[in-house]
Structure formats: structure tokens, C-alpha cells
């Protein structure tokens, strides 16, 4: 307060908005009312984050560092243009939904999503105007129940699931590589490339092959995320995300933020 009993609030944020009442005496007859409206400006460009299905995702919220809780934080999610916006977190509390068991907030009010899958991809917004796009790289096989002990072919499908849909990936942005890092195109020893259609690329390989195959998503000549596959069903990933994140280790997968 200053000398005139005006209420001074430093470094305001959306949690400070609302109705304020000033009472100068013991009664309410002389009450003064002030409505505080806070105009928030986006503090940065939308963040694109890339993960492999099954990992733990950490979506940042540009919350004011002076806030000591997440009680004013909301998180919203929209999978694509054709689906309504869903409230995932209200006033710091994860809302009840089929996905709520995998969600939580950390001390910075970042949204944590465990064991992410295609349902988790899309656009997210924190109430502090933090826009995050969660993109998932997923490798699946066709047929999914193929017996790896028998000789035969299997088709690997590499899909990037994102908010803008399966048609939004530039041509030649999904690449298949062998264990030496050479790109697999056309048909060769133990493989046949089916090419890329939108955000899906397929590669047919022999079940008895012990070679490792890698799928990469490349944007502006930079590898954003990659996953590896072997006939035993073993997969791993290396993710390249935004520059202000630190090196983390999720389960047995190394995740590097560069």
C-alpha cells in the first residue's frame, strides 16, 4: 500500500485479475470496487516438441517465476482442427478423463504426460499463453501379429502424428536408414521402400533379418526425432527438441535437448 491506501501489486499475472474491494470504515456503505483486467501477451513463439510414442513428455508453461503454486494454471488440448478444445487442467487440478491418470504438473506447472500415444498428440496451451505442439513418431508393423520366428516379410510403418494431420509432412521428410546410416530408397538387400505418403512412410523387410532399421523425421535439414527397429521388436529413440531444455534421461532412452 502507498500513503493513500492504494493497493499496489507488483509484477501482475493472470491470477491477479478479478474484483477488488476497498473498505474505509466498519460498514460497507463506503466500499469502493475495482475490476482488474489483465491483458496477457504471448511471451514466445509456439514450441514444437518431438517425442517417440511411449516416452514421457514435458510441456513447458511460461508461468511467472514469482508465483509459488500452480493454482491459477489451466491447460487445454486440441488433437486436430475437427475436435473441440478439451480442458486437461483447471486451476492446477488435472481434470477427470480417460487420459488423466497419465498426467500431472511439476513444480514449474509444466504438463507431464507419461507413456504418450497418438491420442496425446496435438496443440496444447497453458493459461499463461504458452502454445506447445506435441508431435509423436510411431513405428508399427503390418501385420502386427507376425511371428518373428518364421521366415517372411513384414511392413514397417513410420508415422508422425501431429496437430495438422497426416498430410502435412513435406516430401522426403521421413527417411529410412540402415545400420550404417545409409538411406534406404527403392529396393535393395533385404528391404523394399514403399515411399512416403503424407506423414507416413513404409518399408518392407524380412522377418529373419537381424539388421536394425531407423526412421527419421527431418525438418529444415535437421533431424527432429528418430526411432530404431529390429525384428525382435526392440525400439529406441533419439529426440532433438528446443534449445532451452536440459539433458534428461527417460527410462532407458537417452533424450538430448539441443
| pLDDT score recorded for residue 28 | 59
| pLDDT score recorded for residue 164 | 82
pLDDT tens digits for range 23-78: 777 665 666 768 676 554 444 588 899 999 899 999 999 876 656 688 889 999 99
pLDDT tens digits for range 106-156: 988 999 999 999 999 999 999 888 899 999 999 988 876 666 566 788 899
Q: Name which of 233, 164, 152, 226 is nearest 199 in CA terms.
A: 164
Q: Is the whole-model pTM more than 0.85?
A: no
pLDDT tens digits for range 162-211: 998 767 899 999 999 998 899 999 998 888 999 999 999 999 988 766 67
Domains of the chain (ranges, CATH numbers): 1-39 (no CATH), 47-134 (2.60.40.10), 138-242+248-255 (2.60.40)
Which secondary-structure segment (H or E) carries 216? Answer: strand 213-219
54/217 Cα distance (integer angstroms): 17
Judge whether 76 and 125 are in contact, CB under 8 Å: yes
| pLDDT score recorded for residue 67 | 61
Amino acid at each position: 500500500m502507498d500513503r493513500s491506501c492504494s493497493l499496489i501489486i507488483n509484477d501482475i499475472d493472470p491470477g491477479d485479475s478479478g474484483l477488488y474491494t476497498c473498505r474505509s470504515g466498519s460498514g460497507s456503505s463506503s466500499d469502493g470496487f475495482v475490476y482488474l483486467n489483465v491483458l496477457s501477451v504471448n511471451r514466445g513463439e509456439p514450441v514444437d516438441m518431438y517425442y517417440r510414442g511411449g516416452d514421457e513428455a514435458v510441456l513447458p508453461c511460461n508461468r511467472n517465476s514469482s508465483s509459488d503454486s500452480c493454482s491459477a494454471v489451466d491447460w487445454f488440448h486440441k488433437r486436430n482442427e475437427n475436435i473441440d478444445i478439451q480442458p486437461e487442467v483447471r486451476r492446477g487440478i488435472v481434470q477427470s478423463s480417460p487420459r488423466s491418470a497419465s498426467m500431472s504438473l511439476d513444480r514449474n506447472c509444466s504438463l507431464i504426460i507419461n507413456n504418450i500415444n497418438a491420442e496425446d498428440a496435438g496443440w496444447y496451451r497453458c493459461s499463461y499463453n504458452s502454445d506447445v505442439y506435441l508431435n509423436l513418431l510411431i513405428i508399427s508393423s503390418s501385420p502386427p501379429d507376425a511371428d518373428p520366428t518364421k521366415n517372411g516379410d513384414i511392413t514397417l510403418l513410420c508415422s508422425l502424428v501431429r496437430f495438422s494431420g497426416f498430410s502435412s509432412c513435406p516430401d522426403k521428410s521421413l527417411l529410412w536408414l540402415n545400420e550404417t546410416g545409409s538411406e534406404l530408397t527403392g529396393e535393395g538387400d533385404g528391404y523394399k521402400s514403399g515411399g512416403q505418403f503424407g506423414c507416413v512412410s513404409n518399408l518392407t523387410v524380412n522377418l529373419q533379418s537381424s539388421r536394425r532399421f531407423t526412421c527419421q523425421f527431418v525438418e529444415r535439414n535437421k533431424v527432429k526425432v528418430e526411432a530404431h527397429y529390429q525384428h525382435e521388436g526392440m525400439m529406441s529413440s533419439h529426440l532433438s527438441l528446443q534449445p532451452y531444455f536440459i539433458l534428461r534421461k527417460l527410462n532407458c532412452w537417452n533424450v538430448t535437448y539441443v
